[in-house]
Amino acid sequence: MARETWATRTGFILAAVGSAVGLGNIWRFPFITGQYGGSSFLITYLAFVALIGFPAILVEFVIGRRTDRNPVGALRELGSGAWSYAGWLFVVTGFIILSYYSVVAGWFLRYTLIGITEGFTLTDPAEANALFGTVSTGLDTLLFHAVFMLLVIGIIAAGVRRGIELSVKVMVPVIVVLLLGLAAYGFTLDGASAAYSYYLSPDFGTIAANWTEILPAAAGQAFFTLSVGMGVMITYASYLGEDRNLAADAGIIAALDTLVAVLVGFVVFPILFSVGIEPGTGGPGAIFVSLTAAFAGIPGGRILGVVFFGMVGIAALSSAISILEMLVSYLIDELGVSRVPASVALGTAVFLLGVPVTIDLMFLNLYDLLADGILLVLGSLLLALFVGWVIPDVARDELRKGIADIGGLDDAWIWAVRIPIVIVVLVSLYLGIVDYVDFLTGDFADWLAAR
Ligand code: PHE
């Protein structure tokens, strides 16, 4: 059977935007921004998206379109020897990220449901925290994880055009419209002006003093939010049937993803400032605790909460499908398995890997720090080295297709990929490994010892 392709250019762009816009923008971005000082983090992150993220998307697009393959097959075709094994790293990363991503997405589904059935009434942070405890662990959590994975499997089993393309054409516009509405609402809140100044006036002194922390955090966030470093964009570009302007497409995708993240800040920070919650008190649960408390305390909070949590659920779904598609494309291309059984089998395996995360949040850290701080960064490093140093001519040639007047873009791009990206990524990787070892020998060891 012929390999599927996107039906339209918009379909491809929406799918890639859907992949990029997800928990990374909405759940991770505000608390990371809060942790690293608001505006100072924002400006570093914006610089990273433009200078590192955009070229990294192009790296994956070029590989995918050139080979029409899944990441493992693509690297085997273009590279030799050890390179052909690099694709395996993506498969491992995909499994780990999707397994906890789905659990966290399940929390959002659950909060949406709570908003619909009971509303948000807990103004006391201790009670809101207790609610988060019930939502984030236990059998119900497992159930919502299962429901989310079933949705993901359903879409991927339906195929590239009928599953992914059709669903993102609905999901992505819905996300953008809801978000614009929410940001407009945020504008009317009492805390808006304090929030804007916190969010928008960068303090270069803070950046200079804390760059060893801000830099890797901004790099990690840029990769994660743009879905690069694990072959998802290779997979999506492999369904491009014709030669389009990859640079324009990558630019649109990076810009829309960034716009969404920035908009989320315009929603979340005014809400937090209005009820006097300090955004820096971050952490994966804090955003739920502070937002539910906030939704309980502001006019129209219930509707606002349902719309917000529901929107995040949709955004998570359009990202999660891209990860399962990457995994499924491997089984289809390389082992000749057909789509439906491949989706069910891999989706079930991902579900099982996520089970520990529903039992204890320690597993979320164990997975997230490894995948996000190390595997994604390592993946980006390998891809940059591969394109920049192993196949630069092939890559340049592929980039030129579909671009009438390339100017100096191809040279600038290869140069960026060869040196600056490699350096930044190496530094981030080193810091990520140090963090992980700290975690394993510290928090995690204590936790194990207490068992
Ligand atoms: N970009 C997605 C987000 O921001 C997460 C993701 C990472 C999706 C890697 C696919 C691959 O939520």
What is the CA(441)–ligand 1 centre distance, in A? 28
Question: Mean pLDDT across the stretch 231-260?
Answer: 93
Tell which atom from ligand 1 comes closest to the C-alpha of 319.
8
CA of 408 to the centre of ligand 1 (A): 30
Residue 446 CA to ligand 1 center (angstroms) comes to 30
Q: 248 is in which domain, residue-wise?
A: 9-449
Mean pLDDT lowest among 232-246, 281-295, 305-319, 360-374: 281-295
Residues in contact with 450: Cβ distance below 8 Å, sequence separation at least 6, in sequence order: none
Beta carbons of 5 and 241 less than 8 angstroms apart: yes
Q: Do 320 and 305 contact (CB within 8 A), yes or no?
A: no
Rounded Cα distance between 281 and 302, Å, is 23
Q: Which atom of ligand 1 is nearest to the CA of 316?
A: 12
Nearest residue by C-alpha to atom 9 in ligand 1:
227
Task: Please tell me the predicted confidence (pLDDT) of residue 80.
Answer: 79
Task: Please report whether residue 4 resides in a domain.
Answer: no
Lowest mean pLDDT among 213-217, 380-384, 433-437: 213-217
User: Pick from 322, 346, 347, 165: which is nearest to 233 by CA?
Assistant: 322
Q: What is the pLDDT of residue 1?
A: 55
Write the residue with the smallest CA distance to atom 6 of ligand 1: 227
| 118: CATH | 1.10.4160
Rounded to 10 degrees, the C-alpha dihedral 238/239/243/246 comes to: -60
Query: Mean pLDDT across the stretch 76-101?
Result: 90
Q: In this structure, is residue 420 part of a structural domain?
A: yes
Distance 400 CA to ligand 1 centre (A): 27
Residue 136 inside a domain? The answer is: yes
Q: What is the pLDDT of residue 219?
A: 82
User: Which ligand 1 atom minimizes the distance to the CA of 224?
Assistant: 7
Name which residue leads in pLDDT, 175 or 242.
175
- pLDDT at residue 363, as a whole number: 94
* Pocket test residue of 225, 236, 253, 257 for ligand 1, highest count of atoms within 8 A of CB: 225
Closest alpha carbon to 229 in 363, 392, 53: 53
Expressed in angstroms and rounded, the spacing between residue 23 Cα and the centre of ligand 1 is: 7
Cα 411–Cα 415–Cα 418 angle in degrees, nearest 5: 140
The distance of Cα 155 from the centroid of its chain, to the nearest Å, equals 19
Task: Judge whether residue 430 has pLDDT over 70.
Answer: yes
The DSSP result for 177-238, as a single string, is HHHHHHHHHHHTSTTHHHHHHHHH---HHHHHHTHHHHHHHHHHHHHHHTT-SSSHHHHHHT
Per-residue model confidence (pLDDT) at position 128: 82
Question: Is 1 within the bounds of a domain?
Answer: no
Residue located nearest, by CA, to atom 11 of ligand 1 = 227
C-alpha of residue 17 to centroid of ligand 1, in Å? 10
Question: What percentage of the chain carries pLDDT values higher than 70?
Answer: 98
Predicted local distance difference test score (pLDDT) of residue 205 = 75
Per-residue CA distances from 367 to 149, 359, 435, 444 (Å): 18, 13, 13, 12
**Ligand 1 centre distance from Cα of residue 386 (Å):** 22
Q: Per-residue pLDDT for 314 more than 90? A: yes
- Cβ distance 302 to 117 under 8 Å? no
Record the tokens describing residue 155, joined without a space. 């879409």
Mean pLDDT, to the nearest integer, of 132-149?
Answer: 95
Q: pLDDT band for position 432 (50/70/90)? A: confident
Burial of 82 (0-12, 13-18, 19+ CB in 10 A): exposed
Angstrom distance (rounded) from CA 289 to CA 130: 9
> Ligand 1: which of 104, 164, 227 to mutate, most ligand atoms within 8 Å of CB?
227
Q: What is the DSSP letter of 121?
A: -
Please tell me the total count of domains within the chain. 1
Residue 73 located in a structural domain: yes
Q: How confident is the model at residue 62 (pLDDT cuts 50, 70, 90)?
A: very high
Q: 138 pLDDT exceeds 70?
A: yes
**pLDDT grade for 280, boundaries at 50, 70 and 90:** low
As a whole number of angstroms, the distance between CA 439 and CA 248 comes to: 40
Is residue 2 included in any domain, yes or no? no
Confidence of residue 148 (pLDDT cuts 50, 70, 90): very high
**Whether 236 contacts 71, CB under 8 Å:** no
Instruction: Report CA Rg, the chain.
Output: 21
The model's pTM is: 0.93
Q: Residue 283: which pLDDT band, with cuts at 50, 70 and 90? A: low
Ligand 1 atom 10 nearest Cα:
227
Using the atom order of ligand 1, give the atom closest to the CA of residue 229.
Answer: 9
CA of 4 to the centre of ligand 1 (A): 23
pLDDT computed for residue 122 by the predictor? 83
Is the pLDDT at 410 greater than 70? The verdict is yes
Residue 202 domain-assigned (yes or no): yes
- Alpha carbon of 191 to ligand 1 centroid (Å): 30
Residue pair 61/430 in contact by the 8 Å Cβ criterion: no
In this predicted structure, the answer to whether residue 405 has a pLDDT above a threshold of 90 is no
Least confident piece of the model among 59-63, 75-79, 139-143, 369-373: 369-373
The per-residue pLDDT for 189 is 81
Helix (H), strand (E), coil (C) string for 6-48? CCCHHHHHHHHHHHHCCHHHHHHHHHHHHHCCCHHHHHHHHHH
The DSSP H or E segment spanning 396 is helix 392-400
Compute the mean pLDDT over every residue in the chain, rounded to the nearest whole number: 89
**226 CA to centre of ligand 1 in angstroms:** 6
- Mean pLDDT, rounded, for 356-377: 91
Q: What is the mean pLDDT of residues 104-123?
A: 92
Cβ within 8 Å of residue 336, ≥6 positions away: none
Output the ligand 1 site: residues, CB below 6 A.
Answer: 19-20, 22-25, 97, 224-225, 227, 230, 232, 319, 322-323
For residue 322, which atom of ligand 1 is closest to its CA?
10
17 domain-assigned: yes
CA–centroid distance, 98 to ligand 1, in Å, is 9
Residue 282 has pLDDT above 60, yes or no: no
Alpha carbons 234 and 228: distance in angstroms, whole number: 9
- pLDDT surpassing 80 at residue 202: no
Q: From atom 7 of ligand 1, which residue's Cα is the shortest distance away? A: 227
CA 138/CA 403 separation, integer angstroms? 52
Q: What is the average pLDDT across 95-103?
A: 97
For residues 370-408, one letter each, b for 16 or more C-beta atoms within 10 angstroms of the residue's C-beta and e for the rest, the string is bbbbbbbbbbbbbbbbbbbeebbeebbebbeebbeeeee
Ligand 1 atom with least separation from CA of 25 = 4
